[in-house]
Amino acid sequence: MRRRAGLLAALVASGAVVAAVAAREDGPAEAGSAAPPARTAAITRSDLVDELTVPGTLGYAARRALPNLARGVISDTRPEGGVVRRGEWLYEVAGRPVLLLYGETPVYRRLSRGSRGKDVKQLERNLKALGHDPGRVDDVFTAETEKAVESWQGASGLPRTGRVDGAQVIVAPGPVRVAEVTGAKGAQAGATAVTVTGTTLIVHIDLPVTSRRLVTPRAEVGVESPSGERATGRVTSIGGVARRPREQGGVPTLDVEVTLDGELDGYDQAPVAVAMRGETRSGVLSVPVEALLAVREGGYAVRVVDNAGRRVAKVTTGLFAAGRVEITGAGLRAGMNVEVPGD
């Protein structure tokens, strides 16, 4: 009974009209009915696919403001949209570049000969990758490390001090894309001078929790840009916490991210359409959802219309998709007509 109530609620929410009747399975034909059915629809046999198209936003992952520890006037900046890689400059303060290195540990102290720690090892890895050999890559800042730092500083336009601190470098896990320059050229450098993202295009979706069934990790989706270009993608992140609706009466949503399999013509924060596909049932009988009748004894039925008149036949429902519902029942076959209530 609880399952029937839940299904009824779902049908009402979808706008389907479900009549209540008292019927026996494959009941007698209702010959001589006073009025013919207003509308009929054929029972069809086909594949039924649970799918939905939802709005999404094309953009880049991992947006964040990078911390700035350099002091002075910002003397140069990069254009927004550019990609910065290891050893390249992000911006300049007082004529000196602030450079990007790869890693997970921020530069929280000055590193010099005698320093020890994982941040030293991270620095040495970057020096070696940039062609400045620090000797053995370990967690000790040696004389060889100092020599490599001086070589790197000279090649990068920094004073050859042999010491490294947060005014010279910023650490990120990999290449970054300049999303927004927040420090204007000619202004004093503040707590941050640039906001960056990763370099991978993603699609963000505020997915209604009622459509959660359509999303599984690594599921393939279709994406269409405003210009009509299409691409495929994979679901790479599904939020575990529902967000409250922005408008009263709205549906809570989950944050879903899709990583594109290829390129898509578009721009940061562009709106896109995302086609999601859930369960597929092959070669099943189906009728419009509106053709369902709720039987007082429990379950559902359809009213079959043929030359003999009208009769009620009980059915078992399956997948609901695209305004149709999968049905099975004794004596039902493709091509039969069922009554559909009028507007």
Confidence of residue 273 (pLDDT cuts 50, 70, 90): very high
pLDDT in tens, 86-143: 999 999 999 999 999 999 999 999 999 999 999 999 999 999 999 999 999 999 999 9
Domain ranges of the chain: 2-49+280-339, 52-60+201-279, 64-197
Q: With bands split at pLDDT 50, 70 and 90, how would you rate the model's confidence at 288?
A: very high
Looking at residue 20, its pLDDT comes to 54
DSSP for residue 260: E
pLDDT at 147 over 90: yes
At 116 the pLDDT is: 98
Q: Are 211 and 187 in contact (CB under 8 A)?
A: no
Q: What is the mean pLDDT of residues 177-196?
A: 95
What pLDDT is recorded for position 6? 45
State mean pLDDT over 298-303.
93
pLDDT at residue 9, rounded to an integer: 44
Non-local CB neighbours of 180 within 8 Å, separated by 6+ positions = 80, 194, 195
CA angle 77, 82, 88 (to 5 degrees): 65
Predicted local confidence at residue 3, as pLDDT = 42
Residue 40 has pLDDT above 70, yes or no: yes
Q: How far is CA 40 from CA 20, 70, 238, in A?
A: 18, 75, 42
Amino acid at 64: R
Q: Supply 261's token pair.
A: 């399999």
- pLDDT of residue 13 exceeding 50, the answer is no
Q: How far is CA 302 from CA 287, 316, 339, in A?
A: 9, 10, 7
The average pLDDT across 216-245 equals 90
pLDDT of residue 19: 52
Q: What is the pLDDT of residue 24?
A: 46
Tell me the average pLDDT across 301-317: 92
Cα 244 to the center of its chain, rounded Å: 18
- The residue-averaged pLDDT of 223-243 equals 90
Q: What's the pLDDT at 32?
A: 44
pLDDT of 256 above 60: yes
Q: Which residue has the higher pLDDT, 286 or 261?
A: 286
Please name the fold of domain 52-60+201-279.
Elongation Factor Tu (Ef-tu); domain 3 (2.40.30)
Lowest mean pLDDT among 2-6, 42-46, 255-259: 2-6
Percentage of the residues of the chain whose pLDDT score is greater than 70: 88
Q: In this model, does residue 5 exceed pLDDT 70?
A: no
State the CATH class of domain 2-49+280-339. Answer: mainly beta
**Superfamily (CATH H level) for 64-197:** PGBD-like superfamily/PGBD (1.10.101.10)
Q: Give the pLDDT of residue 27.
A: 53
25: pLDDT strictly greater than 80? no
Mean pLDDT of 331-340: 94
